[in-house]
């Protein structure tokens, strides 16, 4: 990103020329890739021209003024369609920007378009998008991951230099791993959720996707910080991009939970992650075997809570105020028909599951019990950081799988096997590329740290990036 900023500073290129180059990449690759739901060519070029005028007058809004960005299509953008990859919202144009989008505009970043996702962010492959699957740039027969698959694929394919995604159970890190890019799930509350269409408010978090650790840190610095419009926002100070010091790794204690290296883990994924761990150890880090046994219950806990919250959040889509509306003789029939027409199969499945676990006869056995287990998981995770500085695991059990390979929803849910724990405990976690398998598919390594330790995460991720690729 610094190279693009330097080109703009030294007049080697204009923002309009840079945006045009990315639009050309989109036009060339989108027929096969399908990373975008909406491309705002006219709007992006207008924003680029405004950035060029600001720079010519010596009043650039930030060093990154004029560098375009893609935004996941469940993040509100004023006047620009925000569909959540659902037919229910296919014509919805918000009247306001999400706080993170407002932050991007204040930094001068032209929004080049809205990226594809699983409908309402419910999925791990973008196969549940109403607008078709996003294909993996490294192998078009494979998924890009989800739910932020469009953002990860767009960055990996060079259709955008960076992008925003959202992560509820792994939806930034998993597609980042599958597509060979860097993706961060920040600490819960570090980034405002105002204007982000909710899936599970106690788990959702907006985060950056980019090709390098430094670019990811720069983008995080633009969106992090408190927001009075978001009740869950933290009062933590805005983030500053760290200085990259390779010596800091000496004496760094890295927790290695053996529960993440057992049955179901692809052999080549394990080899790549252990190779990275050995490289960090050779540079002075200390590998500490730890136990995170409660991860065994993370997926079940996550699915119980996310479906319950989704059922509640999606109750507002009733065909009355906005979105799909099917005419009927009475209101109950209209509600039923509108939701049946507007929602896809996975959304309907999760609404029904969530309604079930929240029902009076099952609330105590499922939802209340899941909240108790979540507390145990959080305690387990935080206790580990009393022993170590960071925890390192594979990001996903396997490389990107083939489109259509996981027809059973339970198999799809297991894609979040290693990532859901960070959401349940609210800690930050980052996925960094750590090589490729024998088929040329990218592999990812996950680094987790305690609350608001993003700077530490980026420093360790930078060392992984330099030593494992």
Q: What is the CA radius of gyration of the chain?
A: 21
Tokens in use for 438? Answer: 């024998």
Identify the bridge partners of residue 208 per DSSP, sorted by sequence position: 164
The residue annotated as part of the active site, out of 125, 129, 144, 147, is 147
Identify the bridge partners of residue 257 per DSSP, sorted by sequence position: 290
Active site residue 171: yes
DSSP 315-343: GG-SSSSSS-----SSHHHHHHHHHHHHS
Comparing CA positions, the residue from 285, 283, 213 lying closest to residue 444 is: 213
Q: Residue 230: which residues within 8 A CB-CB, separation 6 or more?
A: 99, 192, 193, 194
Measured torsion, CA atoms of residues 269, 273, 278, 284, in degrees rounded to the nearest 10: 170
The rounded distance, in Å, linking the Cα atoms of 41 and 26 is 10
Comparing CA positions, the residue from 142, 214, 204, 213 lying closest to residue 179 is: 142
Contact 89, 125 (CB under 8 A): no
The residue annotated as part of the active site, out of 15, 72, 233, 415, is 72
In Å, what is the CA distance from 161 to each residue of 66, 82, 138, 190, 257?
A: 12, 21, 17, 23, 34
The rounded distance, in Å, linking the Cα atoms of 29 and 33 is 6
Q: Residue 120: which residues within 8 A CB-CB, separation 6 or more?
A: 74, 84, 85, 86, 197, 199, 310, 314, 347
The residue annotated as part of the active site, out of 15, 125, 171, 425, is 171
Contact 169, 8 (CB under 8 A): no
Comparing CA positions, the residue from 278, 211, 264, 207 lying closest to residue 418 is: 264
Query: What is the CB neighbour count within 10 angstroms for residue 327?
Result: 9
Tokens in use for 133? Answer: 């699957």
Catalytic residues, by residue number, are 72, 147, 171
């Amino acid at each position: 990103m610094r190279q693009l900023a330097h080109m703009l500073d030294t007049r080697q290129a204009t923002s309009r020329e840079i945006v045009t180059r990315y639009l050309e990449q989109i036009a060339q690759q989108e027929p096969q890739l399908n990373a975008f739901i909406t491309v705002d060519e006219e709007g992006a070029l207008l924003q680029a021209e405004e950035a060029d005028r600001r720079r010519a007058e010596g009043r650039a809004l930030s060093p990154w003024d004029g560098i375009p960005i893609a935004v996941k299509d469940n993040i509100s953008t004023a006047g620009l369609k925000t569909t959540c990859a659902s037919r229910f919202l296919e014509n919805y144009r918000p009247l306001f920007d999400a706080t993170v989008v407002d932050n991007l505009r204040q930094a001068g970043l032209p929004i080049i378009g809205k990226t594809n996702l699983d409908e309402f962010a419910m999925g791990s492959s973008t196969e549940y998008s109403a607008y078709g699957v996003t294909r993996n740039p490294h192998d078009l027969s494979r998924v890009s991951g989800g739910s932020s698959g469009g953002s990860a694929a767009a960055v990996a394919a060079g259709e955008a230099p960076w992008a925003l995604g959202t992560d509820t159970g792994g939806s930034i890190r998993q597609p980042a791993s599958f597509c060979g890019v860097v993706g961060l799930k920040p600490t819960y509350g570090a980034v405002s959720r105002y204007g982000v269409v909710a899936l599970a408010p106690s788990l959702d978090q907006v985060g950056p996707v980019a090709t390098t650790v430094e670019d990811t840190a720069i983008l995080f610095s633009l969106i992090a910080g408190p927001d009075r419009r978001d009740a869950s926002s933290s009062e933590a100070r805005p983030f500053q991009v760290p200085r990259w010091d390779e010596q800091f790794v000496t004496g760094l204690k890295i927790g290695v939970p053996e529960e993440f290296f057992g049955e179901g883990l692809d052999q080549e994924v394990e080899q790549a992650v252990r190779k990275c761990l050995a490289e960090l150890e050779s540079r002075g880090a200390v590998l500490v075997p730890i136990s995170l046994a409660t991860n065994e219950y993370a997926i079940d806990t996550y699915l119980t809570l996310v479906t319950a919250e989704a059922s509640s959040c999606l109750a507002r889509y009733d065909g009355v105020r906005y979105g799909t509306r099917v005419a009927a003789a009475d209101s109950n029939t209209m509600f039923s028909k509108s939701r049946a027409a507007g929602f896809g199969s996975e959304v309907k499945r999760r609404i029904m599951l969530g309604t079930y676990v929240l029902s009076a006869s099952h609330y105590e056995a499922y939802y209340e019990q899941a909240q108790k287990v979540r507390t145990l998981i959080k305690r387990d995770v935080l206790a580990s950081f009393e022993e170590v500085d960071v925890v390192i695991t594979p990001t996903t059990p396997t490389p990107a799988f083939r489109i259509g390979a996981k027809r059973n929803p339970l198999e799809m849910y297991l894609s979040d096997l290693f990532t859901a724990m960070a959401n349940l405990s609210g800690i930050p976690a980052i996925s960094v590329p750590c090589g490729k398998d024998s088929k040329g598919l990218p592999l990812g390594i996950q680094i987790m740290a305690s609350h608001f330790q993003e700077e530490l995460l980026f420093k360790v991720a930078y060392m992984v990036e330099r030593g494992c690729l």
